Structure 1
Amino acid sequence: MSGINRIIDHTLLMATATSAQVIQLCNEAKEYQFASVCIPPNYVSLASSQLAESDVKVCTVIGFPLGYNNTSVKIFEAKKAIAEGAEELDYVLNIAQLKNGNFEAIEVEMQEFAELKKDHPDLIIKVILETCYLTKEEIVQVCRLAKQAGIDFVKTSTGFGTGGATIEDVQLMRQTVGTKIGVKASGGVRTIKDAEVMIKAGANRIGTSNGVGIVSGNRSVESNY
């Protein structure tokens, strides 16, 4: 393996995802030594038990996929996920608040997520921007707020919007946050070439449901991620 495996979040977020598929995902993640599995919140306990003896992290999504839950609801969901074994949280930005120009609400939400790290210092927080809906100016503004708040990663996409990661957006995100925090490219990353292009653009984490194909033969599948 090329080393790309260690920055892949092996992802299964379909509405129809079954327990058997989550177990398979975890087994693949252990075999290929992926960074994490990214699964729905209701499967955090299952994934945590499957990965207990491995270095693969349990990642889940919060406020997914639309992001317009109240912040208090997102934080409640986050705390429950942590209690059940989640080690990384990918939460969706409140895009409506951003479009309303309410940057204070965006900042407060980021700060509340960052606060979770006080009791859980190893916790990784990623904010999903859903860049397909944002202007370049909005991407820059959100990335600056995330950096100031102490968020660990800015992430391009849920995979459920009108578009996924683009080279231009990943480059812009990396230029804005510098080297201090991470950039996760997700949505449409299906081949090793896709992954390499995103890494060159500045991503240091890749979200994909085709991790096995990427690291073991370049096989591409149809998928949101």
Structure 2
Amino acid sequence: MKKILITGLLSLCLFALVPAAGCSRTPDLTKYVSEYRSDIFYGSSGDYSVFASCSQKEYPYQADGNAADMSDVFELALSTPNNTKTYIVQFTLGEKNYEGELSFDSVKMVHTWSQSIPAPQEKEIVFTFTDTESDDASVFSIQTESVKSDTTLSLSDLLKKVSAEEPDPFNELSDGNVFCAEIYVRLLYENNECYYYIGLTDRNGNTFAMLADAETGEVLATKQPKS
């Protein structure tokens, strides 16, 4: 009888553990990301420089606190000493060749191009530009390198670290294992250093912003939503 009672209690305890094992007390924050800039390629040659970024972005874009399906976006910006010219870019990722005509952004004062391309596996990319308005079809190439290092935090690790260091905004936006906001994560590159911008946008469009070290996840600055 005693053996039967112990066996019954053990079975009851194991049964009680099943729901706990299948549920998380905190939400999986990666599921609520609506923009993630994962890599940046940078290079320069003389007066010319290239800044290329790899991202996944919500489409169509809406800062409404609800994360939706994301699309791959590869964006390129060429800075030149003469902004009156038109350029065509060519480059190769894997075994696939890409080509396109750049548009001039009069606000940022750079020539830009974008296309839906998955984040490349390469650590270096060579971009070749052709000046379409030159009589001799002037061509120049710029080699770029990924600004990330082996110690740059992954998306999952970054969110774990910043949510542990700044728990209040995450807790306020959490309802059990549901996160009631969307998250924007952008890799930044400034003065040869990498950082992450993390923005938490609630259902009212209010954003709590953080700047974190890309390797340690240390939160360096925060910005409260406008009241």
What's the TM-score once normalised by structure 2's chain length?
A: 0.24
Tell me: higher relative CO, structure 1 or 2? Use CA pairs within 8 A at least 6 residues apart: 2
Q: Determine which structure has more spread, i.e. the larger CA radius of gyration.
A: 2
What's the TM-score once normalised by structure 1's chain length?
A: 0.24
Q: Determine which structure has the larger strand proportion and give its number.
A: 2
